[in-house]
Amino acid sequence: MTEVKIETTLQIYKDLNDTPKDIQELMKSAVRARDNAYAPYSKFNVGAALLLDNNEVIIGSNQENASYPSGLCAERTAIYYAGAKYPKAKIIKMAITASSQNQITDQPIPPCGACRQAIAEYEIKQDQPIEIYFMGVKGKVVKSNSLANLLPLVFDRGFL
Ligand code: THU
């Protein structure tokens, strides 16, 4: 038996003002998306904004459904929209923010496992890392230089 230790590296900014100007702008788009989320069931709004290499910004928010599993997360709404609208464009940066309608979300909210898998697909497809930033409504912002840092042991096309 051998043991394998997997490490990851993230950067933590003390708040949004501490991040580069372009990230503040991208996060503002994510906040606007978040405020338009359709989340009547969970009361948990999530917004995502993607910066593409053609300079377009694509946004997404979570879209819920009375049949709960039919809803979709903000990150996948955005990434699938980007893939549909600009199939050749690369995703350079992604900003994510979440807010609960019941309490103040002052800690960074990471993308769920299903969204990490979906983002991984696009990172692998474009053969270029996607910078990911995530936060609550205020407080710290976490940066990952690549989706790969958030999803070790990814299941990818190499296994098919
Ligand atoms: N949600 C997202 O939009 N992104 C995530 O990464 C985590 C969860 C949404 C799904 C659902 O509408 C609500 O947040 C509560 O889980």
Which residue has a Cα nearest atom 10 of ligand 1?
A: 73
Residue 6: its pLDDT value, please? 96
Instruction: Kindly give the distance from the C-alpha atom of residue 80 to the centroid of ligand 1, in angstroms, as a whole number.
Output: 15
Instruction: Compute how many other C-beta atoms are within 10 angstroms of the C-beta atom of residue 33.
Output: 26
Element (H, E) at 98: strand 91-100
Q: Quick one: pLDDT band at residue 72, thresholds 50, 70, 90?
A: very high
Q: Is 62 in the pocket of ligand 1 (CB under 6 A)?
A: yes
- Per residue in 3-21, pLDDT (tens digit) is 999 999 999 999 999 999 9
Mean per-residue pLDDT, 38-64: 98
Best of 38, 62, 70, 100 for a ligand 1 pocket test (most atoms within 8 Å of beta carbon): 62
Mean pLDDT value across the chain: 98
Q: Percent of the chain, pLDDT > 90?
A: 100
> How far is C-alpha 92 from the geometric centre of its chain's CA atoms?
12
Nearest to 73 by CA among 57, 83, 61: 61
- In whole angstroms, give the CA distance from residue 84 to residue 80: 6
pTM, two decimals, is 0.97
Q: Is 75 a known active-site residue?
A: yes
Residue 65 DSSP SS3: coil
pLDDT of residue 113: 98
| Domains (range + CATH), the chain | 21-153 (3.40.140.10)
